[in-house]
Amino acid sequence: MIRYMQKQDVDTVARIEQKVQSHPWTIGQFNDSVESYQSTVIEHQGEVVGFCILQPVVDEANLLLMAIDPKMQGQGLGFRLLEASIELLKNNPVQIFLEVRESNLAAIGLYEKAGFHQIDIRRNYYPKPDGSKENAVIMVKSCSDDFSKLFKM
Ligand SMILES: CC(C)(COP(=O)(O)OP(=O)(O)OC[C@H]1O[C@@H](n2cnc3c(N)ncnc32)[C@H](O)[C@@H]1OP(=O)(O)O)[C@@H](O)C(=O)NCCC(=O)NCCS
């Protein structure tokens, strides 16, 4: 089941984030995201196992963060959550942007499968645990592509 994130989900969501990120968001950031952004979670057998945070901005949106609990990865949940979260966006965005670590091949693969493509590189953008920096890949999904596909059906 996919539903909007609530304040009572934040501890679980923050724990998932801590398992997968070297520089995780804080509880405070997740609490703010419930109020300020479109935040969704995916449940498996009644347990929250992933989340997705999208920021609508006028006629666009930014994908700020998403993760699936490591024990549940590789089963299609990330793709389902991303597709459903984009569907739920109320501002009917023309484009959705995101930034992702260049080394994060799983996320890049997921985003490509969901229709995103690379448009730029931001050099030395992300901090690494060893103190060095890593490039960000900037990706975009054009939502008008989805509409044109609908019209072709
Ligand atoms: C990125 C992430 C959300 C993917 O979630 P997931 O549920 O494991 O992904 P899915 O099973 O839905 O896979 C969807 C597609 O992603 C790609 N993918 C997923 N895992 C992959 C891997 N380990 N290597 C390469 N591609 C991968 C594939 O294209 C896959 O499609 P396919 O199964 O048809 O080949 C998950 O790996 C994760 O939480 N990672 C840590 C947090 C993170 O990096 N978040 C994104 C940056 S903010």
Q: Please work out whether the CB of residue 110 comes within 6 Å of at least one atom of ligand 1.
A: yes
Structure confidence by residue, pLDDT tens digits, 111-140: 999 999 999 999 999 998 889 999 999 999
Catalytic residue, candidates 99, 102, 125, 134: 99
Structure confidence by residue, pLDDT tens digits, 59-86: 999 999 999 999 999 999 999 999 999 9
Query: What are the residues facing 142 on neighbouring strands?
Result: 95
Q: Please work out whether the CB of residue 113 comes within 6 Å of at least one atom of ligand 1.
A: yes
CA of 75 to the centre of ligand 1 (A): 9
**99 catalytic residue (yes or no):** yes
Residue range 2-152 forms a domain whose CATH class is alpha beta
Domain residue spans in the chain?
Answer: 2-152
Q: What is the DSSP string of 15-83?
A: HHHHHH-SSPPPHHHHHHHHHHSEEEEEEETTEEEEEEEEEEETTEEEEEEEEE-GGGTTSSHHHHHHH
pTM (predicted TM-score): 0.94
